[in-house]
Amino acid sequence: MVKRFFSFIAIAAFALQLNAQISYGGKPRIETEPALSEAQVPFANLEKIDNAKYIAEDMEIGGKGHPYRLSVMQDVSLSNKTDGVTTRLPNGDLVWRLGIKTEGAEHAFPIFSKFDIPEGAEMFIYTPDMDLVLGSFNIENTEENGGFYSQALPGDEFIIEYYEPAEVAGQGALEISQVAHGYKGFLDFRNNKHDKILDNSSGSCQINVVCPAGNNWNDQKRSTVLMYMTYGGYGYMCTGAMINNTNNNKTNYMLSANHCIESFSSLTSVTFTFYFNAQTSTCTGTSGQRGQTINGATKLANSSSSDFLLMKINGTIPASYKVYYSGWTRGTSSLIGCCIHHPSGDWKKISIPRNVQAMSGQYANFWYVSWKTGSSNQGCVEGGSSGSPLFNANKQIIGQLKGGSSDCQYVNYSDYMYDMYGRFDKSWTGGGSNSTRLSNWLDPQNSGATSCHGLNYDGSLDIETAEAENRSISLYPNPSKGMFNVEVPELGEASYTVYDMMGRQVMQARTVLSTQVHKINLSELPNGAYRLEINVNDHRYVKPILINK
């Protein structure tokens, strides 16, 4: 509950530092209206939270195998009708402001149960020093349930500023029902005034994704996202990855772990905020981009048998986020690649396995992953890494993190540096229904594809993972009137798909005979340049072709 006593602070106009979110730009009126910069903003002071109590509870539970808890939701009842202060500007416009303080928080944010505002009205949320400004938000930001919630802000206090032009003055209704009190650090939101126990950055063995170890994984970095969820009085996080489908249509599918949501009895009351490109600016740095977010998601499929979760992120992801939809494979070779993740709510990290192998018996749906130790350490995973993608050497997703015993404190003890990842090939058929498998979502036309390349935000195909294999494939004649002979260095039933040079699929996947020389008839296609993709076993080959009739 909120204690109904208020403190006051004078707000001066500071330089605006907008961070990208699904917002509509502009500047808070505090920057342009002298009357506001001289006024005092009332602060609602919430009951104090015992951070150490929740830290201790989490230490008893352990870090992996469940979503990583990092905040407590405080119930409040605050609105623009009963709290804060409203200022009428000389032209008749109204500006309502309210500060909220949850003492000792590492990060905080409000949840609005009612966000009923007219056209032309807009809202900003910012820290008192305006080091972080979120907004503007308007009627387009209203959630399906009529509410709104924002990304996190650093520290234990923030200010809400709501503006209404004169023609709609007094029409808006804002009601805040909860405030998140982050008792753990989140990205670089860490309060140095607090005790050392509250410094919850990830372990010292973790490697920032912008370090040399991540130089060959630039696309996959843009695929990995941090997922912040609130439910049942707490805030949690996991890691996920944007994933492509065989239609190459930029559907916002995100793969993560089932255990990240399985304790939630209903998803209707869960909020989801996804953080893109949350990584440091330099290899040894501790600050970076943390403002590219989007709210809301729908569960499509999940299964505990291989611990996978497939969701669709709501809305349109801005092109400025440069999202990458990772490729995948159902194959079981070239396994050792990397894991990209957000351990302990920290900046994006990269970890390189020592070994990846299939498990058996009751764990046959999982990969066993061990990590390098001692002086050859190249990271591991922690709480918060749950659901993070495991890539093979061909940069394709082959699984997502379930849990295990690895920890930076065991970096010199190889027996403790291992984890389990749900196998993508097992999740493909899952429980046999649309809601318990990946196949119908990631291969919507049931082409039978065994792998899929990655896709960039601009719709261009990524064929980097196939370039090495192209050297061992022979295609002739090329150009052709439409009939091609293709030789691949292995036997097996092959499927092929054709794309135009913009990456659009122009011919559905078809199956050809199980021979090393495949005859392919593309004479139905018009003259032009195309890319031919052939999948044999778990290998993918891509060749440019030219049809000239």
Catalytic residue numbers? 259, 307, 386
Count CA atoms within 13 Å of residue 46 on its CB side: 29
Cβ atoms of 382 and 223 within 8 Å: the answer is no
Count CA atoms within 13 Å of residue 227 on its CB side: 34
Instruction: Give the SS3 label for residue 197.
Output: helix
Q: How many whole angstroms separate alpha carbon 22 and alpha carbon 135?
A: 8
Alpha helices in 234-313 (DSSP H): none
Largest CA distance in the chain: 81
Q: How many whole angstroms separate alpha carbon 527 and alpha carbon 446?
A: 27
Count CA atoms within 13 Å of residue 283 on its CB side: 5
Residue 210 phi/psi, 5-degree rounding, is -85, 0
User: What dihedral angle (degrees, nearest 10) is formed by the CA atoms of 456, 460, 463, 465?
Assistant: 0
CA distances to 65, 257, 329, 395, 428 from 260, in Å? 8, 6, 23, 24, 19
Amino acid at 536: V
